[in-house]
Structure 1
C-alpha cells in the first residue's frame, strides 16, 4: 500500500538515533542534539549564503558558513553511536559564535548576553559536572577575551553584562543541579520500585514453584487415589495403597490403621516393607485416644503433622523405624465417621509439612471411600452368599416337604433300559464307570442326578453339554411342577382352615345366641319360631343343607312336596345358596360391629385405668388411696362390686380394706372387716394370692372353690388379681359382676394392668408413710435431745426425760431414775 507524505514522519526520520542506542533516554538525547544541530546548520547556511549575496563573500559570510559546516558535522555525530561528541561540538560551535557574531552586531551587549545564555542552556544536555566545566570555560573565556574581541563594550556596561552572564550561569547550574537531584530521586524511586518488583517477581516465582510442586503432589495423590479406589478385597486394596503412596511420594514408611468394631483401638491393617509385615505379624494396635499421633488424629478428626521429629515432644520413636524424621497422620473419614488413619513417615526433616496437607487429605478422602466401598462389597458378597445359602435351604426344605413320604415317596427315580421305563429301586446304585453324570440342581441345591451310560469314545464335550442342558431343563420343569402341586396342596389346606374357621365361628355365634330362636316355621299363615327343626315331621319333604364354605350350618326344608321335582329342587337350592351367602355376610358384619364395640370398650377401660392410676398416685394416705381405686374401678368398669385385700405376711392373712359398692347400695361407704387365710382353699382371693396369678371364674355357682359373700348375693362372675411388686404379694384386687361370662381374657389383661399400677401406688404410699413416720420420730428425738442437753443438773435431766417421753408416747406414767442398788 502506498504511504502518503508526512513532514512529521520525515523530520522524525532525519533526527532518529542510531539503532545501536537502546536506552530510551540516550535515544531521546541523541535525537535532541540532532534536531538542534540540523536546525543550526540550516539556519547558519541560509544566513551565510544570504550575507554573501548581499554584501559579498566577506568575513561574516565565511564565519557563518563555517558554523553551518561545524553544525552539520555535529548533526552527523549525533546520528552515530558517539552522539556525545556531537553535543560537545555543538556547544563549542555555539560558544564560538558568541565571539564571532557579537562584534558584527549593532547591540553587542544584548547579543552577547543572549548568545551566552543560549549556549549555557544548550550545556544542559551534558551532565552536571560537564555542564559546570563548560559554563566556567565559556564565562572565563568571554571575560578574558572580551577586551580583545569586543573592545566596544567597556566600563559599567561590560561589568553589568559580565555580572548578568555569571548570574545566568549560576542560575542555570543551580537549576541543572536541582533537576538532576529530582531525576536522581525519581531514579532512586524507580530503582526501589524495580527492586521491589524484582523481589515480588522472585516471590511469585517461588510461590509458582511451590504451587507447581503442590499441584504435582495433588496430581500424584489423584493418580494414586484413582489407582486404589477400585472396588476389591480390603486387604489387597490397603496393601496396594500403602506401596503406591510410598513409591510415588518417595517416603520412608507408610501404614494404614482401621478402627476396630468396638471403637476402642486402631488396628494395623497394612504397612510397607518388612517393617509392615513384622508389625502385622505382631497384631500391632494403638489405643483410640490422644496418647499417640495416630490416635490423636482419629479422636480429634484432624491431621497431625510433625515436620521434624527431633524437635517434637509428642513423637514416640519406633525401634523398627529409626530413620523417621517427619511424620503425618491423616484420619480416614466417611460421613463424619472415622474409619481409620493414614500414617506416612519421611527420612528428611521437613519432608512432610502443613503445605502438603491438601494433597494428602484428598488422597486420604479417596482412600477412605475406597475402604468403605470395599467393606460394602464384602458385606454385599456375604449377604449374597447368605441369601443364596438361605435360598438353597428353602429349596431343600421345600423338596423335603414335597417328598414327605405321605404325599410323595422320599425318593423317586426311573431307569430307561432297552426302551423300557422302569421305576428305580431305592437300593439301586448308580453306575460309576462309562457314565456321564450331572447333578439336577435347583437354586444351587443338588436334588438328584441325571446319569447316562456312554462308552469312553462316546463321551465327547458335545455329549456332556447335552446331558447338562437336559439336566437344567429337567430341574426347571421339576421345580415348576413342584410349585404347582405345593400351591394346590396349600390351597386345599387353606380351604380346610377356612372351613374350620367358619365352623368355629358359627359355633361361637350360635352359643352367643342361645336366648334367641335358631329356626323358623311357616304354616301358610304366619312365621313362627321353632325350638328344634328336627322335631318337624311331614309325609314328604325336600331338605337342602345351608352351607358356608362346604360346612353345613343349617338346612332349608319344604314340607309336603314331591322331593323328586327337579324344578322345585333347583329353586330351593338357589334360595339356600343365597341364604347361606347372606347370613354369612350378616354374621361377619355382626362380628365386625361386635369387635368394634369391644375395641371401644377396651379403649374406655384403658382410659379408666389411666385415670385411676393418675388420681391414686396423688394420694399419699394408703387407706384413702385404696378407697379411691375401688370406687373408681366399680364406677368406670360398670361392675357389681370391687374390693381390695391387703396381705399381712406375719399372720398370712388377707384383710379387706376397701369396698366399692354399686351406687345406691345400702352398704355404700362401708368397707367391712373380712379376713381370709392365704391357705384357705375355698376362696378365689386366697388362690390368686397363693399362685400369684389372676383367677377368673365366669360362673361362680359352678365352681366349688368359690367362697360366697352373703352381702353380695347377685355375684355371677368373679376375677381376682394379685397386687405384686416383683415376687412380693401386697394384696388382691377382686372385681365381681352380676352377669355370667362377664369377663374375657382382655378383661383379665386390663385388670392385671390396673393391679400393677395399684400395687406400685400402694408401695409408694407405704414408703411415703414410713418416711413420714421416721421423719416425725427423728424430729421428736431431736427435740427431746435438745431439751435434755439444755439441762444443767442431773435432776433436771431426769425430769425432762420422764416428762418429754411421757408426752411423746401419751403414756399415763413415765419414770427416769438412777439407782446403784442391786435389784
Structure 2
C-alpha cells in the first residue's frame, strides 16, 4: 500500500512537472511570437546577434534597408549584413553591435556613417547598439536599432547650404540686415523686439558690433525707434498684420543721422529688416531739384526781362525769385546813383517788420560801410556767418533779429552799380551753393539795370530826335513865311506905282 502511494505521488509529481513545463514552453512561444510581431511592426530596423556577432533575428525594416532577407541573414556575421563605412574616408566603421558586446553598454553610431546595402545602395543611418543580458546579467548577444535618415540628412544639408549662402550674401551685402523677434508682455502685447541676427553693415550703421547686438532689446539700444520715429510702431504693425513696408525716413537719434530706406517683412513672431543709408542719394536729389528750380526761375526771369523795361517791376520779380530759391529773412537791392550814393531800389521781407518806409529813405555813400566797400573792392561776395562776431558790421537799432548776412556786388561790365543784400535768422546759413545762386541773381539784376538804362537812353534819344524834327519843321515854316513876306514886300511898290487901286 505504501509503495502504491509512493508511485501515485511520483506519477502525480511527474505529471505536474510535465504540465508546468508544457505551459512554460507554451508561454515562451507566445512571448516570442508577441515580441517578434512587435519588432516586425515598428518603424525602425532591428537586428539581434549572439555573443559571436552572428545574426539571430532581423525584422522586415532591417531586411529592406540591408537588402538581406531574414532567412539569408541568419547566422551571418553582423559586419557582412550590416556593412557601414565613413562617408568621407570610405573606411569601415566599428560595428555598434560588436562594441556593445565588448563594452557591455549602449553604443551610438558615429556621425557621417553610411550603410551600404547588399546591392550597393547607400543611405545615411542613425542607430544605436545595446547588449542583451540574461537573467543573471550575463551577456547573451546584442541588438541594433537603426533607421534611414537620408531624406532628413539631405534636407538638413540643403538647409545648411541655404543658411551658408544666406550668411555669405548677408555678410558681404552693402545693405544692412537684421532679424528681430517680438518681446511680449503677459497680455500678449508687443513691448519690444530682440535681435537674433545682424550683418556687418548693420553693425557699421548702428555703431555696434553685430555679436554685441544679439540677444539685446531694440529699444535699449535704439530708443529713438520709438521716441523720435515711427519705426517701432511700424514693426509691430508688420508682425500683427503681415503687411510688409518699404519707406524712406530721416533718422536723428543715438548719434545716427541721415536718410534711410527701411524695408520690413514678417518673419515668424518677429520681423526681418533691411535698411540702407540713402543720405547721399537724397542730397543729390535735393541738389537736382534745387538746380531745376533755379533754372526754371532764371528762365522765367529772363523771359520777363525781355517783356518789361521797367526797373521796379523787374526787381520785384527778381527778388521774389531770390526768396523762392534762397529762403531768407530779408533781401534788398541797393543801387549807386551818379554821385556815388546808394539807395534801396527794391526789397522784400521788410513789410512785416514795418521797415519799408525807412528802407526807402536810405541814401548814403556805400564807402562808409566797410562790408559794402570790401565787396566793391574785391568784386566778390562778402559773407558774415554771425553779425555779432563781425567787427565791421555797422549796427542799427532795428536789426537785433538778424544773424547771418551776405553782400553780393552787382557788376555791369567793369562798373560796380550796386549790391544784393540778404539776411537770415540762422547763423552760418550762407554756404557756398547759396552764395553762388545769389551771384546769378545779381547778374540778372545787372541785366535789368542795363535794360532800364538802355530804355531811358532810347527814350532820351527819341525825345531829342523829336525836338530836332520839330525844330527843323519850325525852321522850314518860318523860312518859307519870311521868303513869302520878302517877295510881297518887293512887289508891293511896283504894284502901287502901276495901279494903287489894285494894291488896296
For the superposition of Structure 1 and Structure 2, which TM-score range results when normalised by the shorter chain?
0.3 to 0.5
Which of these two proteins has the greater Rg computed from alpha carbons? 1
Please state which structure has a larger fraction of its residues in strand: 2
TM-score normalized by the length of structure 2? 0.43
Greater relative CO, 1 or 2 (CA 8 Å, sep 6+):
2
